[in-house]
Amino acid sequence: MIQMVVRPQFCGMLSGSFLIACVLLLFASSVAGQSQSQPVTSLIHEGQSALDAGDYAAAVSAFERARQAAPENLAVSRGLVLSYLQERRLDDAESLGESAVTRWPRDGELRHWLGLVYFKKGSNAKALEELQQAEKLNASESGIHLDIALVLLSDNWYPEAADELEKAIRSDPKTALPHVLLGRAYQNTNRSLQAVEQFQTALRLDPDLPLGHYHLGFAYASLGRNREAIAEYKKELVRSPNDASVLYQLGHCLLAEGEWKASATQLQKATEIDPQNFDALYDLGKALLSQGESEGAIPVLRRAIALKSSDPSAHYQLARALEKSGEKELAQQEFDTFAVLKKAQPVTGGMATGPIH
């Protein structure tokens, strides 16, 4: 099974527009339901405005002052926990969040924010527990389903993540991100056709979606639809011309289609940007060898082997390159190494994940 890497661009949205959009509604309802002095109300609005503007230090300042004046105010506690979270003051967010949840155990928003704090601190089990409690209290809130899915995806629990993302989309079908994440969950459970549908939907909703064409191209490639994959990767390169992953995947598909020169061009760029990319070096060596440039392939394949000496495929390609260059003895050594490593490899079923010979 080909696994799609979780890309950091999506994880970064955990504390972005979803949280800000929610908090404005949350504070509005909470302020209306509590009697409080005008200065506290003003500080809450000041904190809300700072959150909306992305000025998290100012939000912390406003909510801390509000909490000094009204320590038992639910809206203030919500705002301060969220502000600490956004400001990456995770210890403060955790301490206040835990005490606030003890004070208001049936407040879904507090449990949501506390769950995100745990997630950012790497405590996924605690994060999941809090987020699931928030889900019980606010089952219609799509952002909670989305954040539960992010925790599950980070632990590679793809079927469970897909269930949560389907709930998020039912609540909010017009937001692109849940469709992208659902596509990734489908992709990693061998549901590539459904993944394609989700990525296409995401791009319809947001044509400028970062890495949207990359993910769609990856799904096409996993189905063997390399021509469609190539078209998508080329679209993504317009937006991300120096993304080594996009360059590698484009080069890999071109290589599979026998376009060796074009493949080598993209793979060379990928290795310049990311010299530690074994797969790009392996494919570049193979592309050069396929063009008859065996002498150029030799140092590239040796670099690949230096990064991953246990991979038999690189030794096999190096043996071929050495053989074509007249280095018969060295070639035989590499063929022998290939045979030993290949024999030691465990037999696996399903779709191949390593380089092809």
pLDDT at site 274: 97
User: Which is more confidently placed, 349 or 82?
Assistant: 82
Tell me: do 119 and 189 sit in the same domain. no
Q: Could you report the per-residue pLDDT of 116-161, keeping only the tens digit for each?
A: 999 999 999 999 999 999 999 999 899 999 999 999 999 999 999 9
pLDDT band at 74 (very low <50, low <70, confident <90, very high): very high
Tell me: do 60 and 132 sit in the same domain. yes
Tell me: do 93 and 165 sit in the same domain. no
Residue 292 lies in a domain: no
pLDDT at site 5: 37
pLDDT at site 17: 41
Tell me: do 22 and 126 sit in the same domain. yes
Tell me: do 202 and 97 sit in the same domain. no
Q: Is the pLDDT of residue 106 over 90?
A: yes
Residue 333 lies in a domain: no
Q: Is the pLDDT of residue 10 over 90?
A: no
Name the domain boundary from 240, 271, 298. 240
Q: Give the span between the Cα atoms of 263 and 289, in whole angstroms.
A: 12
Q: Is the pLDDT of residue 18 over 60?
A: no
Tell me: do 52 and 85 sit in the same domain. yes
Instruction: Give the residue carrying structure tokens 């050594």.
Output: 333
The helix/strand/coil state of 83 is helix
Name the domain boundary from 198, 218, 240. 240
Residue 119 lies in a domain: yes
User: Which is more confidently placed, 253 or 26?
Assistant: 253
Tell me: do 134 and 21 sit in the same domain. yes
pLDDT at site 246: 97
User: Which is more confidently placed, 346 or 328?
Assistant: 328
Q: Could you report the per-residue pLDDT of 159-209, keeping only the tens digit for each?
A: 999 999 999 999 999 999 999 999 999 999 999 999 999 999 999 999 999
Tell me: do 219 and 185 sit in the same domain. yes
Q: What is the mean pLDDT of residues 83-99?
A: 97
Residue 286 lies in a domain: no
Residue 183 lies in a domain: yes
Tell me: do 19 and 128 sit in the same domain. yes
Q: Which residues contact 273 (CB under 8 A, 6 or more apart)?
A: 242, 243, 244, 247
User: Which is more confidently placed, 283 or 38?
Assistant: 283
pLDDT at site 33: 42
Residue 251 lies in a domain: no
Tell me: do 118 and 199 sit in the same domain. no
Residue-wise burial string across 296-334, b where 16 or more C-beta atoms lie within 10 A, e elsewhere: bbbebbebbbeeeeebbbbbbbbbbbbbbeebeebbeeb
DSSP 12: G
Tell me: do 17 and 124 sit in the same domain. yes
Q: Which residues contact 329 (CB under 8 A, 6 or more apart)?
A: none
User: Which is more confidently placed, 290 or 353?
Assistant: 290
Q: Give the span between the Cα atoms of 106 and 136, in whole angstroms.
A: 10
Residue 31 lies in a domain: no
**What are the distances in angstroms from CA 268 to CA 73, 116, 135, 235, 357?**
59, 40, 48, 19, 20
Q: Is the pLDDT of residue 350 over 90?
A: no
pLDDT band at 344 (very low <50, low <70, confident <90, very high): confident
The closest alpha carbon to 228, from 269, 260, 193, belongs to: 193
- If you compute the radius of gyration of the chain from its CA atoms, what whole number of angstroms results? 26
pLDDT band at 8 (very low <50, low <70, confident <90, very high): very low
Q: Is the pLDDT of residue 35 over 60?
A: no
Number of structural domains found in the chain: 2
Q: Give the span between the Cα atoms of 217 and 175, in whole angstroms.
A: 21
Q: What mean pLDDT is reported for the chain?
A: 89
pLDDT at site 349: 43
Q: What is the CATH number of the domain that holds 159?
A: 1.25.40.10
Q: Give the span between the Cα atoms of 95 and 111, in whole angstroms.
A: 13
pTM tops 0.75: yes
Tell me: do 16 and 124 sit in the same domain. yes
Q: What is the mean pLDDT of residues 339-343?
A: 93
Residue 221 lies in a domain: yes
Q: Could you report the per-residue pLDDT of 256-293, keeping only the tens digit for each?
A: 999 999 999 999 999 999 999 999 999 999 999 999 99
pLDDT at site 21: 42
Q: What is the mean pLDDT of residues 228-250?
A: 97
pLDDT band at 29 (very low <50, low <70, confident <90, very high): very low
Domain that holds residue 53: 11-26+42-138
Q: What is the mean pLDDT of residues 15-37?
A: 44
